[in-house]
Chains A and B, each alone.
Chain A
Amino acid sequence: MNIDKKIADDLVANDISFVTTVPCKQLAGVIEEVDQRDDIFHIPSNKEDEGMGLCAGAWMGGKRPAIIMQNTAIGVTINTLATLTQFYRMPLPMLISYRGELREPVACQVEMAVHTKALLAQLNIPTYHFHKQSDVEEFDNILKYTFMCNKPVAILTDANFWGGYGDQ
């Protein structure tokens, strides 16, 4: 299974047509896939809170948005999640590369990994963790759930899910 393609297919099937991204090595494939889709307007952000602002505007303009980012962004976006996305009750699927988990080669990434789930739990953000490739089968239902409840929802995707880092 090509998980990049499957994720993009599910986005399109759920009428998500506005996607903003801040890159991560693990997300390179899915970002490229999203960029190539005619049904999705892809707008790169310079910072993840900026991206959440874009998504808020797009949603109020009638488009379903999504953000693709790294888990370090949770440290950047807590205020935005609380005072914009949650306060105004807006849906936002967040496809997040979960750096600092098993098979991670860079020690510093672990420092935010150990806080990631705790911060999401503190914010009462529904959180899913994709560890095996087959976990991607839930993505479609998670997207439907997000736009049902009008909340930000986190999908953490670790290195094992993406197939590791090759020789590293």
Chain B
Amino acid sequence: MIRSEILREIAPILRDQLVVCNIGIPSQELHAIDDQPSNFYMLGTMGLASSIGLGLALAQPKTVIVIDGDGSVLTNLGTLPTIGNNAPNNYILMIIDNGSYGSTGDQPTYTGMKTDLAGMARAAGSDNVVEVQDVDTGKALQEAIDAGKPTVMVVKCDSGNAKMPVITMDPVIIRDRFMKAVAS
């Protein structure tokens, strides 16, 4: 499976949750598959989805699901110790690890070689790290939500992108409707 197929499959689970979605094609795919006010789409700033989601989870009690990527986490590796030492029970970081920089032309990342993000997350202090194959994502995500513990999921899948339109929604509107969904 590629990322868009996973997103399509887990869309019914994501719909009722606060979702912070990674920059580029992941946000375009989620937006096209199931746009919700409770989705925060990153339009820029590679690497910070996990940090934005962590700040959000620490500030309020609702479950926060971060949809991140291997390339994006690699660009902000300092996030893993911060998560490992501070993540609250309502925080789920789901790293879609397709071993490539999807938004820029599927150049390989190091996670397709020797680098193991799950091992890095564990070493950085996360106690609940789950390695999942693409087909099992929905089940594992639901389990993480039900467990109510800080969880890092590393979802292994194939490299590739669906052709989706660029998000043209104004960022202030994305942010404003998201904040209303958080506060509701």
Segment among A79-87, A111-119, A126-134 that sits at the interface with chain B: A79-87
Which residue in A18, A49, A82, A84 is a CB contact (below 8 Å) of B76? A49
A22 and B56 alpha carbons, distance in the complex (Å): 19
Is A14 at the interface (CB under 8 A from chain B)? no
B79 with A50: CB separation less than 8 A: yes
B76 with A54: CB separation less than 8 A: no
Which residue in A43, A55, A65, A83 is a CB contact (below 8 Å) of B44? A83
Is A56 at the interface (CB under 8 A from chain B)? yes
Which residue in A58, A84, A90 is a CB contact (below 8 Å) of B48? A84
A83 neighbours in B (Cβ, 8 Å): 43-45
A87 with B171: CB separation less than 8 A: yes
Shortest CB distance B89–A (Å): 15
A53 with B51: CB separation less than 8 A: yes
Shortest CB distance B116–A (Å): 20
Which residue in A44, A49, A58, A82 is a CB contact (below 8 Å) of B59? A58
Q: Are A54 and B182 CB-contacts (below 8 A) given A46-B82, A87-B43, A90-B175?
A: no
A59 neighbours in B (Cβ, 8 Å): 55, 59
Shortest CB distance B75–A (Å): 10
Shortest CB distance A75–B (Å): 16
Residues from 48 to 77 in B contacting A, C-beta threshold 8 Å: 48-60, 76
A87 with B44: CB separation less than 8 A: yes
B49 neighbours in A (Cβ, 8 Å): 53
Residues on A facing B (Cβ under 8 Å): 18, 41, 43-47, 49-63, 65, 79-80, 82-84, 87-90
Residues on B facing A (Cβ under 8 Å): 20, 40, 42-45, 47-60, 76, 78-79, 81-82, 86, 171-172, 174-175, 178-179, 182-183
